[in-house]
Amino acid sequence: MDRNLALELVRVTETAALASASYMGRGDKIGADQAAVDGMRRAFNSISIRGTVVIGEGDLDEAPMLYIGETVGCGDETEIEVDIAVDPLEGTTLIAKGLPNAIAVLAIAPKGTLLHAPDMYMRKIAVGPRAKGVINIAAPTSENLHAIAKALDKKIEDLTVTVQDRPRHEKLIEEIREAGARIKLFGDGDVATAIATGFEETGVDVLMGIGGAPEGVIAAVALKCLGGDMQAILNPMSPEEETRCREMGLSQDDVKKVLTLDDLVSSEDCFFAATGITQGDLLQGVVYKGNNRASTHSVVMRGKTGTVRFVEALHRLDKNETLTDVL
Ligand code: VTB
Ligand code: MG
Ligand code: MG
Protein backbone atom coordinates (compact mmCIF):
# COMPACT_ATOMS: atom_id res chain seq x y z
CA MET A 1 0.00 0.00 0.00
CA ASP A 2 1.19 3.49 -0.82
CA ARG A 3 2.69 5.29 2.15
CA ASN A 4 0.91 8.48 1.14
CA LEU A 5 -2.32 6.80 2.20
CA ALA A 6 -1.54 7.82 5.78
CA LEU A 7 -2.51 11.43 5.21
CA GLU A 8 -5.53 10.46 3.14
CA LEU A 9 -6.78 8.32 6.00
CA VAL A 10 -6.34 11.12 8.50
CA ARG A 11 -8.64 13.24 6.35
CA VAL A 12 -11.28 10.58 6.75
CA THR A 13 -11.14 10.40 10.54
CA GLU A 14 -10.84 14.20 10.78
CA THR A 15 -14.04 14.60 8.78
CA ALA A 16 -15.91 12.11 10.96
CA ALA A 17 -14.66 13.85 14.10
CA LEU A 18 -15.58 17.34 12.88
CA ALA A 19 -19.00 16.16 11.72
CA SER A 20 -19.92 14.73 15.13
CA ALA A 21 -18.11 17.07 17.53
CA SER A 22 -20.92 19.63 17.63
CA TYR A 23 -23.06 16.94 19.30
CA MET A 24 -20.93 17.01 22.44
CA GLY A 25 -23.05 17.00 25.56
CA ARG A 26 -26.35 17.05 23.73
CA GLY A 27 -27.36 13.63 24.97
CA ASP A 28 -27.99 12.55 21.39
CA LYS A 29 -25.98 9.39 20.76
CA ILE A 30 -27.81 8.51 17.57
CA GLY A 31 -27.49 11.95 15.99
CA ALA A 32 -23.80 12.13 16.81
CA ASP A 33 -23.18 8.66 15.42
CA GLN A 34 -25.11 9.42 12.23
CA ALA A 35 -23.11 12.60 11.68
CA ALA A 36 -19.82 10.74 12.13
CA VAL A 37 -20.91 8.00 9.73
CA ASP A 38 -22.01 10.54 7.08
CA GLY A 39 -18.76 12.44 7.41
CA MET A 40 -16.58 9.36 7.22
CA ARG A 41 -18.48 7.88 4.28
CA ARG A 42 -18.23 11.07 2.29
CA ALA A 43 -14.52 11.51 2.97
CA PHE A 44 -13.84 7.94 1.78
CA ASN A 45 -15.20 8.84 -1.67
CA SER A 46 -12.12 10.85 -2.54
CA ILE A 47 -9.53 8.28 -1.50
CA SER A 48 -7.75 6.22 -4.05
CA ILE A 49 -8.31 2.75 -2.59
CA ARG A 50 -10.43 -0.28 -3.46
CA GLY A 51 -11.78 -1.09 -0.07
CA THR A 52 -14.44 -3.35 1.38
CA VAL A 53 -15.82 -2.69 4.83
CA VAL A 54 -15.30 -5.84 6.92
CA ILE A 55 -15.96 -4.20 10.27
CA GLY A 56 -18.52 -1.46 10.10
CA GLU A 57 -21.89 -0.21 11.16
CA GLY A 58 -23.69 -3.55 10.77
CA ASP A 59 -25.22 -5.60 7.99
CA LEU A 60 -26.82 -3.96 4.97
CA ASP A 61 -30.30 -4.34 6.46
CA GLU A 62 -29.30 -2.48 9.64
CA ALA A 63 -27.01 0.21 8.25
CA PRO A 64 -27.43 2.36 5.15
CA MET A 65 -23.78 3.41 5.14
CA LEU A 66 -20.48 1.77 5.96
CA TYR A 67 -22.26 -1.56 6.21
CA ILE A 68 -20.28 -4.78 6.17
CA GLY A 69 -19.56 -5.63 2.54
CA GLU A 70 -19.88 -2.06 1.25
CA THR A 71 -17.16 -1.03 -1.17
CA VAL A 72 -15.56 2.36 -0.58
CA GLY A 73 -12.90 4.50 -2.21
CA CYS A 74 -12.40 5.61 -5.79
CA GLY A 75 -9.36 3.49 -6.65
CA ASP A 76 -9.21 1.69 -10.03
CA GLU A 77 -7.96 -1.85 -10.82
CA THR A 78 -4.34 -0.79 -10.40
CA GLU A 79 -4.98 -0.32 -6.69
CA ILE A 80 -4.68 -3.34 -4.38
CA GLU A 81 -7.84 -4.45 -2.63
CA VAL A 82 -8.05 -3.71 1.08
CA ASP A 83 -10.15 -4.64 4.08
CA ILE A 84 -11.47 -1.68 6.04
CA ALA A 85 -12.51 -1.60 9.68
CA VAL A 86 -14.28 1.54 10.86
CA ASP A 87 -15.82 2.98 13.98
CA PRO A 88 -16.78 6.53 12.93
CA LEU A 89 -17.76 7.40 16.49
CA GLU A 90 -16.14 5.08 19.03
CA GLY A 91 -17.80 6.10 22.29
CA THR A 92 -21.31 7.40 21.53
CA THR A 93 -22.04 7.72 25.25
CA LEU A 94 -18.83 9.67 25.71
CA ILE A 95 -19.79 12.33 23.21
CA ALA A 96 -23.40 12.45 24.36
CA LYS A 97 -22.12 13.34 27.84
CA GLY A 98 -18.99 15.26 26.85
CA LEU A 99 -16.74 12.73 28.54
CA PRO A 100 -13.12 12.06 27.48
CA ASN A 101 -11.79 9.65 24.85
CA ALA A 102 -14.43 9.67 22.08
CA ILE A 103 -12.57 9.10 18.81
CA ALA A 104 -13.22 8.60 15.11
CA VAL A 105 -11.19 5.60 14.03
CA LEU A 106 -10.38 3.33 11.11
CA ALA A 107 -7.91 0.65 10.12
CA ILE A 108 -7.02 -0.85 6.76
CA ALA A 109 -5.05 -3.90 5.72
CA PRO A 110 -4.70 -5.99 2.56
CA LYS A 111 -7.78 -7.99 1.60
CA GLY A 112 -8.28 -11.05 3.78
CA THR A 113 -5.91 -10.01 6.55
CA LEU A 114 -8.32 -8.57 9.15
CA LEU A 115 -10.34 -10.93 11.34
CA HIS A 116 -14.00 -10.56 10.37
CA ALA A 117 -15.13 -10.13 13.94
CA PRO A 118 -18.87 -10.34 14.57
CA ASP A 119 -20.61 -7.69 16.65
CA MET A 120 -20.33 -9.37 20.04
CA TYR A 121 -18.06 -9.34 23.06
CA MET A 122 -14.40 -10.28 23.10
CA ARG A 123 -12.06 -10.81 26.04
CA LYS A 124 -8.86 -8.84 25.52
CA ILE A 125 -5.46 -8.08 26.93
CA ALA A 126 -3.32 -5.38 25.34
CA VAL A 127 0.13 -3.98 26.14
CA GLY A 128 2.74 -1.68 24.63
CA PRO A 129 5.99 -2.66 22.85
CA ARG A 130 8.12 -3.30 25.94
CA ALA A 131 5.75 -6.02 27.14
CA LYS A 132 5.43 -7.70 23.76
CA GLY A 133 5.62 -11.49 23.98
CA VAL A 134 4.98 -11.84 27.70
CA ILE A 135 1.17 -11.86 27.78
CA ASN A 136 -0.95 -15.01 27.85
CA ILE A 137 -4.70 -14.47 28.05
CA ALA A 138 -5.18 -18.11 29.06
CA ALA A 139 -3.01 -17.66 32.17
CA PRO A 140 -4.22 -16.24 35.50
CA THR A 141 -4.47 -12.44 35.85
CA SER A 142 -1.68 -12.19 38.44
CA GLU A 143 0.69 -14.22 36.26
CA ASN A 144 0.14 -11.78 33.39
CA LEU A 145 0.57 -8.75 35.61
CA HIS A 146 3.81 -10.05 37.11
CA ALA A 147 5.19 -10.85 33.66
CA ILE A 148 4.25 -7.40 32.35
CA ALA A 149 5.67 -5.62 35.40
CA LYS A 150 8.96 -7.51 34.95
CA ALA A 151 9.12 -6.66 31.25
CA LEU A 152 8.51 -2.98 32.04
CA ASP A 153 11.00 -3.04 34.91
CA LYS A 154 8.29 -1.82 37.28
CA LYS A 155 7.14 -2.91 40.68
CA ILE A 156 3.70 -4.47 40.44
CA GLU A 157 2.33 -1.64 42.62
CA ASP A 158 3.44 0.78 39.90
CA LEU A 159 1.66 -1.04 37.11
CA THR A 160 -1.55 0.65 35.84
CA VAL A 161 -4.27 -1.54 34.36
CA THR A 162 -7.32 -0.04 32.65
CA VAL A 163 -10.59 -1.91 32.90
CA GLN A 164 -14.03 -0.96 31.64
CA ASP A 165 -16.26 -0.13 34.60
CA ARG A 166 -18.84 -2.91 34.25
CA PRO A 167 -20.33 -5.54 36.59
CA ARG A 168 -18.92 -8.23 34.27
CA HIS A 169 -15.44 -7.23 35.45
CA GLU A 170 -16.02 -7.59 39.19
CA LYS A 171 -13.90 -10.72 39.48
CA LEU A 172 -11.18 -9.36 37.19
CA ILE A 173 -10.94 -6.16 39.25
CA GLU A 174 -10.67 -8.25 42.41
CA GLU A 175 -7.83 -10.28 40.89
CA ILE A 176 -5.95 -7.17 39.80
CA ARG A 177 -6.30 -5.65 43.27
CA GLU A 178 -5.08 -8.86 44.87
CA ALA A 179 -2.05 -8.86 42.60
CA GLY A 180 -1.34 -5.33 43.87
CA ALA A 181 -1.53 -3.34 40.62
CA ARG A 182 -3.21 0.05 40.18
CA ILE A 183 -6.52 0.23 38.29
CA LYS A 184 -7.92 2.95 36.09
CA LEU A 185 -11.58 2.30 35.41
CA PHE A 186 -13.13 3.82 32.29
CA GLY A 187 -16.72 4.08 31.19
CA ASP A 188 -16.42 3.54 27.46
CA GLY A 189 -13.98 3.46 24.59
CA ASP A 190 -11.57 0.56 24.84
CA VAL A 191 -9.95 1.35 21.48
CA ALA A 192 -8.56 4.58 22.97
CA THR A 193 -7.39 2.81 26.15
CA ALA A 194 -5.83 -0.07 24.19
CA ILE A 195 -3.81 2.41 22.12
CA ALA A 196 -2.83 4.30 25.27
CA THR A 197 -0.85 1.21 26.40
CA GLY A 198 1.46 1.84 23.45
CA PHE A 199 2.48 5.29 24.70
CA GLU A 200 4.40 5.51 28.00
CA GLU A 201 3.36 9.11 28.65
CA THR A 202 -0.29 8.07 29.09
CA GLY A 203 0.67 6.14 32.22
CA VAL A 204 -1.46 3.20 31.07
CA ASP A 205 0.37 -0.14 30.95
CA VAL A 206 -2.29 -2.77 30.28
CA LEU A 207 -5.88 -3.06 29.07
CA MET A 208 -7.81 -6.06 30.37
CA GLY A 209 -11.40 -7.18 30.17
CA ILE A 210 -14.35 -7.78 27.89
CA GLY A 211 -15.38 -5.24 25.25
CA GLY A 212 -16.56 -5.21 21.65
CA ALA A 213 -15.00 -7.67 19.20
CA PRO A 214 -15.01 -5.16 16.30
CA GLU A 215 -13.20 -2.66 18.54
CA GLY A 216 -10.72 -5.42 19.37
CA VAL A 217 -9.69 -5.85 15.74
CA ILE A 218 -9.35 -2.09 15.23
CA ALA A 219 -7.17 -1.77 18.34
CA ALA A 220 -5.08 -4.75 17.19
CA VAL A 221 -4.08 -2.88 14.02
CA ALA A 222 -2.85 0.05 16.12
CA LEU A 223 -0.89 -2.25 18.41
CA LYS A 224 0.60 -4.03 15.41
CA CYS A 225 1.80 -0.69 14.03
CA LEU A 226 3.12 0.35 17.45
CA GLY A 227 4.96 -2.93 18.04
CA GLY A 228 2.76 -3.67 21.05
CA ASP A 229 0.91 -6.89 21.74
CA MET A 230 -2.63 -8.13 22.18
CA GLN A 231 -4.49 -11.39 22.66
CA ALA A 232 -8.20 -12.03 22.58
CA ILE A 233 -10.90 -14.67 22.82
CA LEU A 234 -14.35 -14.22 21.25
CA ASN A 235 -17.14 -14.26 23.80
CA PRO A 236 -20.46 -15.28 22.20
CA MET A 237 -23.22 -15.15 24.82
CA SER A 238 -26.11 -16.90 23.03
CA PRO A 239 -26.78 -19.60 20.40
CA GLU A 240 -27.60 -16.74 17.98
CA GLU A 241 -24.15 -15.25 18.50
CA GLU A 242 -22.59 -18.69 17.95
CA THR A 243 -24.50 -18.91 14.66
CA ARG A 244 -23.33 -15.43 13.75
CA CYS A 245 -19.72 -16.57 14.21
CA ARG A 246 -20.33 -19.47 11.77
CA GLU A 247 -21.87 -17.05 9.25
CA MET A 248 -18.79 -14.86 9.44
CA GLY A 249 -16.66 -17.89 8.57
CA LEU A 250 -15.37 -18.67 12.07
CA SER A 251 -15.25 -22.34 13.09
CA GLN A 252 -16.08 -23.62 16.58
CA ASP A 253 -12.34 -23.80 17.24
CA ASP A 254 -11.80 -20.21 16.07
CA VAL A 255 -14.42 -19.08 18.56
CA LYS A 256 -12.78 -20.81 21.49
CA LYS A 257 -9.14 -20.28 20.64
CA VAL A 258 -6.75 -17.64 21.84
CA LEU A 259 -6.47 -15.10 19.04
CA THR A 260 -2.97 -13.68 18.83
CA LEU A 261 -2.13 -10.29 17.37
CA ASP A 262 -1.39 -12.07 14.07
CA ASP A 263 -4.78 -13.79 14.12
CA LEU A 264 -6.49 -10.42 14.60
CA VAL A 265 -4.48 -8.78 11.81
CA SER A 266 -2.19 -11.00 9.77
CA SER A 267 -0.36 -8.40 7.64
CA GLU A 268 2.27 -5.86 8.61
CA ASP A 269 1.17 -3.77 5.66
CA CYS A 270 -1.60 -2.05 7.60
CA PHE A 271 -2.60 1.49 8.51
CA PHE A 272 -4.43 2.89 11.53
CA ALA A 273 -5.84 6.40 11.92
CA ALA A 274 -7.77 8.07 14.74
CA THR A 275 -8.92 11.62 15.45
CA GLY A 276 -9.95 12.82 18.89
CA ILE A 277 -13.53 14.06 19.22
CA THR A 278 -13.55 14.77 22.94
CA GLN A 279 -10.26 15.38 24.76
CA GLY A 280 -8.56 12.10 25.65
CA ASP A 281 -5.50 10.38 27.16
CA LEU A 282 -3.59 10.51 23.90
CA LEU A 283 -5.48 12.88 21.61
CA GLN A 284 -6.95 16.33 22.07
CA GLY A 285 -10.58 16.69 21.10
CA VAL A 286 -12.04 18.96 18.44
CA VAL A 287 -11.62 22.57 19.55
CA TYR A 288 -13.77 25.32 18.06
CA LYS A 289 -11.64 28.41 17.64
CA GLY A 290 -14.34 30.81 16.47
CA ASN A 291 -14.44 32.53 13.11
CA ASN A 292 -15.37 29.23 11.37
CA ARG A 293 -12.20 27.51 12.47
CA ALA A 294 -11.74 24.26 14.36
CA SER A 295 -8.68 22.22 15.22
CA THR A 296 -8.26 18.45 15.25
CA HIS A 297 -5.62 16.16 16.71
CA SER A 298 -5.00 12.79 15.08
CA VAL A 299 -2.60 9.89 15.11
CA VAL A 300 -1.79 7.81 12.04
CA MET A 301 0.43 4.76 11.98
CA ARG A 302 1.85 2.48 9.32
CA GLY A 303 2.66 -1.12 10.16
CA LYS A 304 5.22 -1.70 7.42
CA THR A 305 7.60 0.97 8.70
CA GLY A 306 6.30 1.47 12.23
CA THR A 307 6.06 5.23 11.69
CA VAL A 308 3.67 6.96 14.08
CA ARG A 309 2.62 10.49 13.20
CA PHE A 310 0.60 12.97 15.19
CA VAL A 311 -1.25 15.41 13.00
CA GLU A 312 -2.57 18.72 14.26
CA ALA A 313 -4.82 20.45 11.78
CA LEU A 314 -6.67 23.73 11.63
CA HIS A 315 -9.82 23.53 9.52
CA ARG A 316 -11.85 26.22 7.84
CA LEU A 317 -15.37 24.94 8.38
CA ASP A 318 -16.82 27.25 5.73
CA LYS A 319 -14.29 26.47 2.98
CA ASN A 320 -13.79 22.71 2.98
CA GLU A 321 -16.34 21.16 0.62
CA THR A 322 -16.53 17.75 2.25
CA LEU A 323 -17.17 19.48 5.55
CA THR A 324 -19.70 22.02 4.38
CA ASP A 325 -21.65 19.07 2.97
CA VAL A 326 -21.79 17.21 6.26
CA LEU A 327 -21.96 20.00 8.85
C1 VTB B 1 -17.54 -2.07 24.19
C2 VTB B 1 -16.24 -1.33 24.00
C3 VTB B 1 -16.46 0.00 23.29
O4 VTB B 1 -18.74 0.00 24.10
O5 VTB B 1 -18.03 -2.47 22.93
C6 VTB B 1 -18.56 -1.19 24.86
O7 VTB B 1 -15.38 -2.12 23.20
C8 VTB B 1 -19.89 -1.88 25.04
O9 VTB B 1 -19.88 -2.46 26.31
O10 VTB B 1 -15.27 0.72 23.28
P11 VTB B 1 -21.22 -2.50 27.15
O12 VTB B 1 -22.10 -3.45 26.40
O13 VTB B 1 -20.85 -2.99 28.49
O14 VTB B 1 -21.77 -1.09 27.18
C15 VTB B 1 -17.57 0.80 23.96
O16 VTB B 1 -17.13 1.24 25.23
C17 VTB B 1 -17.91 2.03 23.11
O18 VTB B 1 -18.31 1.65 21.82
MG1 MG C 1 -19.74 3.05 16.36
MG1 MG D 1 -17.63 1.40 19.20
ipTM of the complex: 0.97
Beta bridge partners of 232: 124, 259
164/191 Cα distance (integer angstroms): 11
Question: Could you tell which of 89, 105, 188, 237 is best to mutate to test the pocket of ligand 1, judged by most ligand atoms within 8 Å of the CB?
Answer: 188
Q: Starting from the CA of residue 58, give the closest ligand.
A: 2
87 labelled binding-site residue:
yes
Q: Is 14 in the pocket of ligand 1 (CB under 6 A)?
A: no
pLDDT digits (tens, 9 = 90+) for 277-293: 999 999 999 999 999 99
List residues, by chain if needed, whose CB lies under 5 Å from ion ligand 2.
87
Non-local (6+) Cβ contacts of 52 within 8 A are 69, 70, 71, 72, 81, 82, 83, 84, 111
Q: Whose CA is nearest to atom 11 of ligand 1?
A: 211
pLDDT digits (tens, 9 = 90+) for 226-279: 999 999 999 999 999 999 899 888 888 888 899 999 999 999 999 999 999 999
pLDDT of residue 80: 85
> What percent of the chain lies above the pLDDT cut of 70?
100
pTM: 0.97
pLDDT of residue 69: 95
Given a contact cutoff of 8 angstroms between Cβ atoms, the answer to whether 26 and 96 are in contact is: yes
Q: What is the mean pLDDT of residues 127-141?
A: 98
Q: How far is CA 74 from CA 1, 35, 36, in A?
A: 15, 22, 20
319/161 Cα distance (integer angstroms): 43
> What percent of the chain lies above the pLDDT cut of 90?
88
At residue 107, the 3 state secondary structure works out as strand
Q: What is the mean pLDDT of residues 121-146?
A: 98
- Output phi, psi for 282, to 5 deg: -105, -40
Q: Whose CA is nearest to atom 3 of ligand 1?
A: 189
For the chain, the first-to-last Cα distance in angstroms comes to 31
pLDDT of residue 210: 98
262/85 Cα distance (integer angstroms): 16
pLDDT of residue 196: 97
Given a contact cutoff of 8 angstroms between Cβ atoms, the answer to whether 176 and 198 are in contact is: no
SS (H, E, C) 22-80: CCCCCCCHHHHHHHHHHHHHHHHCCCCCEEEEEECCCCCCCCCCCCCCCEECCCCCCCC
Decide if pLDDT at 327 tops 90: no
Q: How sure is the predictor about 323, in pLDDT bands with cuts at 50, 70 and 90? A: confident
CA–centroid distance, 19 to ligand 2, in Å, is 14
CA–centroid distance, 117 to ligand 1, in Å, is 15
Decide if pLDDT at 2 tops 90: no
Q: Starting from the CA of residue 94, give the closest ligand.
A: 1
Q: What is the mean pLDDT of residues 304-317?
A: 97
pLDDT digits (tens, 9 = 90+) for 56-79: 999 989 999 999 999 999 988 888
Helices (H), strands (E): how many in the chain? 11, 13
pLDDT of residue 209: 98
pLDDT of residue 254: 85
At residue 266, the 3 state secondary structure works out as coil
